Homo-oligomer: A and B are copies of this chain.
Amino acid sequence: MGKKELIVHAAIGEFREKGIEKTTVSHIVKAAGIAQGTFYLYFPSKLALMPVIAEEMVEKTLEIVKETVQEQASFQEKLEQLVDAIFLVARDFNEIQALIYAGLASTEHLKEWETVYAPFYEWISHLLKEAEAAGIIRSTMNLERTAKLLIGLVESAAEQVYLYDNTDEVEVRRQKEEVLSFLFHALGVKL
């Protein structure tokens, strides 16, 4: 594995473990098994890591989503699977998501957030388009905008259950059902 990937992965691991503020470059290089100075051969500064990590995270998220949502499933099932996937990511990476967001926010890289999220937005957008074309959902929506709303909604729903070490499966299931029902009505899904 290239040194750059080594650094990124070590950083993700350290950030998840210690949080951003408490993770130092020393920690990262130690975890990556490289020398202090080597870090700066690949990244001009500690903050320059953030966009790369963010990208990595979104990529991973999209990967999980694609794995979870089955091609041949019905739209309703796909929505359910999508919610499952987003909850899964939130459960496992919830802290880091907030932290990266803050990390980007504290730099001038914030504007890249949109770019980074773009592929995810597009994928959802595409999903909606198909459903609209099939007449499964109401046709009065701006689908790009709705894709973003959808992600915002489901992610915040997931955070609400996972933010507090909530491993109560019943609670999680209820939250998923509520958000799905909310979503179905919002999209005007024809059952």
Contacts and interface: CB of A to CB of B under 8 A. Distances in A.
Interface of A: 19-22, 95, 98-99, 101-102, 105-106, 110-111, 113-114, 138, 140-142, 145-146, 148-149, 152-153, 155-157, 159-160, 163-164, 174-175, 178-179, 181-183, 185-188
Given A113-B163, A146-B182, 7 more contacts: A98-B101, A110-B164, A114-B164, A145-B178, A149-B157, A152-B157, A156-B156
A29 to B, nearest CB: 16
Contact of A152 (B22, B114, B153, B185): B153
Contacts of A181: 140-141
Nearest to A155: B156
A138 B185 contact: yes
Given A20-B106, A106-B20, A156-B153, A145 B174 contact: yes
